């Protein structure tokens, strides 16, 4: 027996799409491959008439269900796994998977977790700030010319998701921590690490990018993020207590 990606748990997320026609064409590509969940974030080119013209009547239900958000953080909050798409390699963009490898890896993940596939704007793609929300990245290999039309990129990834199959897993796949739970954990970590002097308060994001990357490889569950947040709070309480004790001891000495 073989299984594929759980399509109902896959959402395509378009970050700052500039052209209504690309939103419509992306909806059509999704419909071709049996995917129905689409999110548009800060859509500069929103024009429903033009969107529907490119989506065609067959993908009208996908357009009907589009959810719109003003910020990427809000849009990704409920997802347990986020995949970013990128044409650029190196620097802060390691762990690149091909769409086929990515699709197979999402078969067990998508069984019990909502998954977002994130695409950047047509002119420049996802920024490093956008990528901080991603658990892994996918690159569509090209020959020579690396720039793909947004809807073409959506079609390639959706096709690979639709075609991926593997033997049915026997093990249970847990619910992973949602994006909002991870962001709360990272906020606690940043505050605590700044307080104990591990992070430079002037530029904490420099090292937090690496810490985020490390935790993204661990597939944390919701309860585990709560444990880490509790540890961070206890570190701060202990630090505050030691500071207060020092003030008291200093006051005694000065008397």
Query: What is the model's pLDDT at position 13?
Result: 98
Query: What is the model's pLDDT at position 54?
Result: 95
Query: What is the model's pLDDT at position 239?
Result: 83
158 and 185 in a common domain: no
Residue 222 in any domain: the answer is yes
145 and 37 in a common domain: yes
* C-beta of residue 55 within 8 angstroms of C-beta of residue 62: yes
Provide the CATH number for the domain around residue 192.
Answer: 1.10.8.590
Domain end call among 167, 199, 226: 167
Residue 172 in any domain: the answer is no
Q: What is the pTM of this model?
A: 0.76
Query: What is the model's pLDDT at position 91?
Result: 59
Residue 238 host element (H or E)? helix 222-254
Residue 173 in any domain: the answer is no
Provide the CATH number for the domain around residue 89.
Answer: 3.40.1280.10
Residue 174 in any domain: the answer is no
* C-beta of residue 237 within 8 angstroms of C-beta of residue 246: no
144 and 240 in a common domain: no
131 and 96 in a common domain: yes
Query: What is the model's pLDDT at position 97?
Result: 72
137 and 238 in a common domain: no
200 and 113 in a common domain: no
Distance CA 241, CA 215 (A): 29
248 and 224 in a common domain: yes
156 and 94 in a common domain: yes
User: Considering only CA atoms, which of 96, 159, 106 is closest in space to residue 126?
Assistant: 96
Domain end call among 143, 167, 191: 167
* Cα 133 off chain centre by: 4
158 and 88 in a common domain: yes
Domain that holds residue 194: 179-254
91 and 187 in a common domain: no
- Residue whose pair of structure tokens reads 């909050």 in the numeric block: 77
Distance CA 230, CA 188 (A): 9
Total number of domains constituting the chain: 2
35 and 95 in a common domain: yes
Pick out the chain residues at pLDDT < 50: 255
Domain end call among 139, 167, 195: 167
* C-beta of residue 24 within 8 angstroms of C-beta of residue 63: yes
162 and 184 in a common domain: no
Residue 101 in any domain: the answer is yes
């Amino acid at each position: 027996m073989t299984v594929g990606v759980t399509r109902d748990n896959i959402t395509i997320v378009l970050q700052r799409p500039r052209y209504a026609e690309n939103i419509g064409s992306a909806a059509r590509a999704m419909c071709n491959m049996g995917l129905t969940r689409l999110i548009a974030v800060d859509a500069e080119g929103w024009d429903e008439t033009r969107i529907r013209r490119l989506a065609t009547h067959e993908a009208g239900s996908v357009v009907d269900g589009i959810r719109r958000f003003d910020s990427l953080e809000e849009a990704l909050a409920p997802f347990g796994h986020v995949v970013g798409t990128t044409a650029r390699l190196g620097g802060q963009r390691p762990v690149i998977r091909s769409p086929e490898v990515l699709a197979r890896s999402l078969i067990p993940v998508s069984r019990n977790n909502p998954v977002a596939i994130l695409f950047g704007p047509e002119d420049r793609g996802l920024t490093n700030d956008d990528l901080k929300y991603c658990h892994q990245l996918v690159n569509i290999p090209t020959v020579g010319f690396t720039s793909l039309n947004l809807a073409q990129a959506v079609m390639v990834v959706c096709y690979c998701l639709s075609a991926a199959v593997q033997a049915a897993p026997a093990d249970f796949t847990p619910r992973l921590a949602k994006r909002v739970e991870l962001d709360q954990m990272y906020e606690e970590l940043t505050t605590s690490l700044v307080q104990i002097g591990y992070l430079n308060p002037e530029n904490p994001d420099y090292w937090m990018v690496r810490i985020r990357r490390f935790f993204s490889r661990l597939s944390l569950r919701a309860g585990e993020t709560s444990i880490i947040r509790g540890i961070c709070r206890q570190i701060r309480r202990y630090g505050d207590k030691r500071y207060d004790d020092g003030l008291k001891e200093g006051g005694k000495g000065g008397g």
